[in-house]
Structure 1
Amino acid sequence: MTELLLDSQLDEEQREYVQTIRKDDILDFSKIEAGLLDLEVGDGFDLRECIEDCLDLVAQKASEKQLDLA
């Protein structure tokens, strides 16, 4: 996704932010491949809430196309 952003029109500050994100992603992938990435246990992840949020994002378009989301 960062590649797509870098191909778009960004001001210099935005471009620097996206390049930083890209570099961090590359470092994370390298750590994953090397088995060195430690994941922190946080408050947990609410899958139901995540799915509901995603459905909320597409609900209007689905309604316009007369699609039912389940």
Structure 2
Amino acid sequence: MVGQRLSGRVTKLVPFGAFVQVADGIEGLVHLSELSSVPVAAPEDVAEVGDQLTDFVAHVDPERRRLSLSRRHS
């Protein structure tokens, strides 16, 4: 699943990034440092709630049920 490309809708912006719903009941976090290839001060600089984003799965933590996403693909 890491490296997989997913599309989803931004559901919430927080100071440290954006939450993106990639499937029913599944949200992942795109950290502020992963929202753009250039540094941004706030998630609002590059995304709004309701925006459709295509992200890559950067990390999966099944024990803590966390999904980390990135708009930058390494």
Mark yes or no: TM-score above 0.5. Answer: no
TM-score by length of 1: 0.23
Q: Which has the larger radius of gyration?
A: 1
Q: Which protein has the bigger strand share? A: 2
Q: Name the structure, 1 or 2, with higher relative contact order (CA <8 Å, separation 6+).
A: 2
TM-score by length of 2: 0.22
Q: Which protein has the bigger helix share? A: 1
